[in-house]
Structure 1
C-alpha cells in the first residue's frame, strides 16, 4: 500500500499520509484549500495533523488521572508545554480504501507518560460537497482512559493572508460567542469570556481580518440547522470553510504570526477540538472512555465562491 493515498470526487482531490494520518493536501478545481505539504517538505507547525489523545497544550506536561501523576515530554519549548498529542508521528494502517475514501486505523498501546490504550480509526471521505473526516476512538483497555481530539488544517486562499489583509481583501467568520483567555504560556487564565467587545468577535460575515493576531480557542459555538459550527476564510474570489459537529465544542484559530519565512501569517489554522488547552490537567470537557466505550467525531472542509 502506498505511503500516501490519493482521493478524488468531482472537482475535489485529497492526499492522505499514512504517517500521522495527516491531510497532506485538499484542492478543488486545482486550487489549494489547505496549506499543502509532502513527506519531503513537512509537516511544518503540525499542518494537517491529527491531535490525539489531546489537542493543544498541557502545562509543563503535567497531569493527573485516576489518582496517579504523569509527566509528558515538553515538545513546545517556547511555552514549556506538551503539545498536540502522541499520534502525529505514528504509521497508521489502511483498513479500507476506495477512489473517494480511506479509513486508517491505529492501535495505540500507550506510553509510560500516557499509559492508556486506544483504538483509533479515521475516515477521510470526498464527495461533490467537499471533505468529511470522521474519527472513532474506543478503549480496548481494562481501565478508564482520558481522551481529547483535534485536527490542525491550515485554510488557505492561495495568497498570503498578510498581503490580502493589507489590501482589505480577506475576511474571517467564526460562529463562536466566547473565547478562552490565556497566559504567557498560552494556557487558560480564567473562564471563557464573551467575544463581544473584545476585538475577537468574528460572528458577523464581513469582519476583516486586518492585523488581528489569533492563537485563540473559541467556544459557545453557534450552530446551523445541521448542528454544525463554522470557521470561514473569505477572499476576493472564493471562500474556504471548515465545519464541525456538536462533538467538537471548541474551535482554535491560529493566524500563523509566530511562524517564520514564507509561512508567517500566510494561512489560517482552523482547529476543531473536543476540549480546550490544558484539558488533561484541568479535566474541562475531557472525555473519559470506560473499557469498551467509544466516541465519534466529524468535521469537514468545503469551498464556494465569495
Structure 2
C-alpha cells in the first residue's frame, strides 16, 4: 500500500504493478478514468506543470480521449466528519498555505478520462506516466533524491448529475464527462469524498450512494429560494447553493476485500459544500452510506489548475 502519496493514500492500495496498463483496463465497459494522487515539491513544480501541459497537448487528438483535469488539493472538509459547527471551514485552505510556506509539497489529483477502455489502453498512459511524470516525483531537484510514491488506479463512473439531471446510462455519462463545469477560470471548488467498503456490499451500497447523490444534487437553502438553486453559503449562515455537479466513481479493481469509491462533487464555494452537510435531508441520506464505510470518509477540497478537452 502506498502510504506517502497524499493525505488520502492510506485509504488506497495498488493491487496491480502497472495500474494504467492494458491489463488493468481489460474487460471494462463504458467511460474510464485514469486517476492519480501525486506529491510535487517546489523544486519540481514548474517542470511538473509543464509536463502536464505537454501530456494534455499530446492527448487532445487521441481517439476516445475526453478530458484531462489536474486539481490541487487546497484543504479538508470538517463537516464531513460531523465536527461541531464551530469548526466549519477551519481547514479550507490548509494545503494551499502549507505549500506556499514550503512546509508541505503540492498535492495533486489527476483525472484522465476516455470514452472507453480500449482507447485508454491504446493511449499507453502507463508509459507516458513513467517518462513524463514519474521522474519529477522526487523529494529534491536531483533524480538521485528519494522518489515520492504515487497512487494510481482506473475508476469507472457509477452515476453522475448536474443541475439539469441525473445520469446513469453509458451515453449520458460520456456526455456529462464531455461537458465539465470545472474550468480553472470559474474558481469552483471540487470535493472528493474517499471511502472504502467491503467489496461484497457493492450491490446493496451503490443504490444508497446514488440516492445520496440525488439529494446532494437537488437540495439547497433556503428551500423557498426564488431561483430554485439556493443562496451563497458563508461561515456565519446555513445557506447553500445546489452542487454544480456530482459523480460517483468506483475503483475498477478491489483492494483485497475492500473497494474504493470517490464521491466527486463540484460546488460554487467551500461554504456551500460545508453548509450542505448541516442540512437534515443530507444527513438522513448520508447515514446509510456512511454506515457501510470501512475506511473514511476523508474529503479534501481541490482547485482546478488545468483542464484539457478533446479537440
Q: Do they superpose with TM above 0.5?
A: no
Higher relative contact order (CA closer than 8 Å, sequence separation 6+): 2
Q: Relative to total residues, which structure has the larger strand share, 1 or 2?
A: 1
**Which has a greater percent of helix?**
2
